Copies of this chain bind each other. A is one copy, B any other.
Amino acid sequence: MINFDALFKISYGLYVVCSGNKEHGNGFICNTVMQVTADPVQLAVCCNKNNYTAEFIAHSGVLSISVLPENVSSELIGTFGYQSGRDKDKLQGFDVSYGIDNVPVLLSETVATIEGKVKQTIDVGTHLIYICEIIEATLLSNSNPITYDYYRKIKKGVSPKNAPTYVDETKQHTDETTSEKYRCLICGYIYDNAENDTPFEQLPEDWECPVCRAAKAMFEKM
C-alpha cells in the first residue's frame, strides 16, 4: 500500500525551467531536478509531456533552470505554475536573460541559474526525463533556496495536476478537523480560517487566490 504522506518525506527544491529562444519561449514550475553525474556535470529534469515548455525543449535541445528562493512571490508561482504559455507570454514582465543557444533564463527572484544541453530524453509514461549536460551555472544570490516542503507547509502550496508529485486530495483519506477550510478549485490552495485573522466568508469579493489569482468564487468549502 502506498501512503502518500511517506512520499512527501522526499525532499525537493522548486525551480522555473525555461526553453525556447529570444522570439518564443516558455517556462514552468518544476520540483524535480537532480544532479546525476559529476564528470561531466549532468542534471536530470522531469517534465510532463503535455507541458508547453516540452515542445520548446524538443525543438531546441536546451533548457535553463532558475532556483527559486524561500520568499518567492505568489505572482511568480501563479504565472509559471498555474497558467499556460499557450494562453499568454509567461516571460513578459519578468527579468529574463538569454543564454546558450539563446535559451531564456529567468532572473527575477532567482538564487542561481543553470543552463544545459539535452543529451538523452527518457520516456517514463506521463512524463519525460531530460538528461542535460550543464554548460553554465551562476550564483545570483545567497538567499536560501525554497524547498518543496517549505512551499507546502509555510506557503500552503500544492502540486499542479501536471506535476509528478500531484496527489488528488479528494481521493485521500484525511482526519476530521473542526476548523473551516476552503479550497481553490484552480490550484488547490487551501485557505484555513484557523490560520488566518479574517475568516474566508469575510474576505472582500475582489480577494484573489494568493497562488493562482483565481477569484474568491472559485473556492469551495471543504
Which of the residues B4, B40, B127 comes within 8 Å of A36, measured between beta carbons?
B127
Whether B32 contacts A36 by the Cβ 8 Å rule is yes
Q: Which of A1-36 contact B (CB under 8 A)?
A: 1-7, 9-13, 32-36
Q: When the two chains form the complex, which single residue of B36, B67, B126, B165 contacts A46, counting CB atoms closer than 8 Å?
A: B36
Is A2 a contact partner of B136 (Cβ separation < 8 A)? yes
Mark each residue of chain A from 49 to 82: 1 if its CB lies under 8 Å from any CB of chain B, else 0.
Answer: 0000000000000000001000000000000000
Cβ–Cβ contact B3 & A35, under 8 A = no
**Given A10-B33, A10-B34, A114-B6, does the pair A122, B125 have CB atoms closer than 8 Å?**
no
Q: A139-B5, A139-B6 are in contact. Are A34 and B37 (CB under 8 A)?
A: no
Q: Are B9 and A111 in contact (CB under 8 A)?
A: yes
Q: Which interface residue of A1, A5, A35, A147 has the most chain B CB atoms within 10 A? A: A35
Would A147 and B67 count as touching, CB distance under 8 A?
A: no
CB distance from A115 to the nearest CB of B (A): 10
**Chain B residues, CB < 8 A from A3:** 112, 137-139
A34 to B13, CA, bound (A): 11
Q: Which residue of B lies closest to A11 (CB)?
A: B13
A39 at the interface (CB under 8 A from B): yes
Q: Tell me the complex Cα distance, A111–B5, Å.
A: 11
